[in-house]
Amino acid sequence: MAVAEQVQAPTRVLIVGGSGANYATSAAAIEAELGIPVFNLGLDGPVGLNVILPSILEQVRPGDIVLLIPEDLILLDDDGLLDRSVPFGIAIGQPGLGDVPPKQLAENLLLVGTPTLRGLTKSTIDLIEKGEMTGYYSDPFTDRGDPTVTKVRHGKWWKWQIKEPISDHAIERITKFREQVEAKGATLVLSLPWVYGSTEQESIANMRKIAAELEKIAPVIAYDPETFNLKSDSSLFADTHHHLLPDSRKIRARELVEGLEPFVKKDRTQAK
């Protein structure tokens, strides 16, 4: 956000979502193709839709293209608040961001700094082996927000299942976000993430419903209308069902470029 704020341009692309956005594309590759600044502002799915969206809204400027790539975790949630919603708001100095209920905020504030057994164990091992404590997101990012470290999966893969369609809350929240983005003179564009997942009837049917509802809100780009981006090749993926290996991120970036080009051309035409 701090880096993006320093870049002045008639049009920028801001990539928004959870880690399924951040670890699944390349802002640098998209920028090289489009010729405009692109920032990867993907966060973490468990931060929740209610917190992810307002956390980047203040950075949106007239002419920007906001590309929201929401993974199923945040689309199926009923209230937009997940287990990292409150801690994230506290961490960035905005406790209660996302309209967190006062009781939930108070309970989480009381637990700040209270370590879990798992956390203590990991921190102890980190201190012994690395000489410092690290976290999942401790690795540095580029000046465009892209990851610099690729994590790989050591356990056995299984195919992710989409067991529910999009929630009513997610529809309402993304609709409101589109209105907020447009009020700032920017454009909202949506996309479905790549997922190593089941292509059985239930998953496909739910993804079809998700795509249909999202298309009612804003344009949905870069997805296969038959598979809805549910991939059957685990070799494309890194450590999770939503994170891609570097070569896969470049392929995904190319897809997104093709979907974004009409909106970039439209903005350039309007600017003239």
Phi/psi of residue 131, nearest 5 degrees: 80, 5
Say if CB 40 and CB 27 are below 8 A apart: yes
- Amino acid sitting at position 88: F
Please indicate whether residue 108 or residue 202 has the higher confidence score (pLDDT): 202
Using one digit for the tens of pLDDT, what is the confidence trace for 69-117? 999 999 999 999 998 999 899 888 899 999 999 888 888 777 766 666 6
Identify the residue whose tokens are 């690290």: 134
Q: Phi and psi dihedrals of 55, rounded to 5?
A: -65, -25
pLDDT at 272: 66
Q: What single-letter DSSP state applies at residue 47? A: G
Q: Which residue has the higher pLDDT, 109 or 265?
A: 265
CA distances from 80 to 152, 184, 191 (A): 29, 23, 19
The amino acid that residue 166 corresponds to is: I
**Beta-bridge mates of residue 221:** 191
Residue 82's identity, in one-letter code, is L
Q: Contact, 184 vs 61, CB < 8 A?
A: yes
Is the domain 2-81+141-271 a CATH 3.40.50.1110 member?
Answer: yes
pLDDT over 70 at 225, yes or no: yes
> What is the average pLDDT score of the chain?
92
> pTM of the predicted model, to two decimals?
0.93
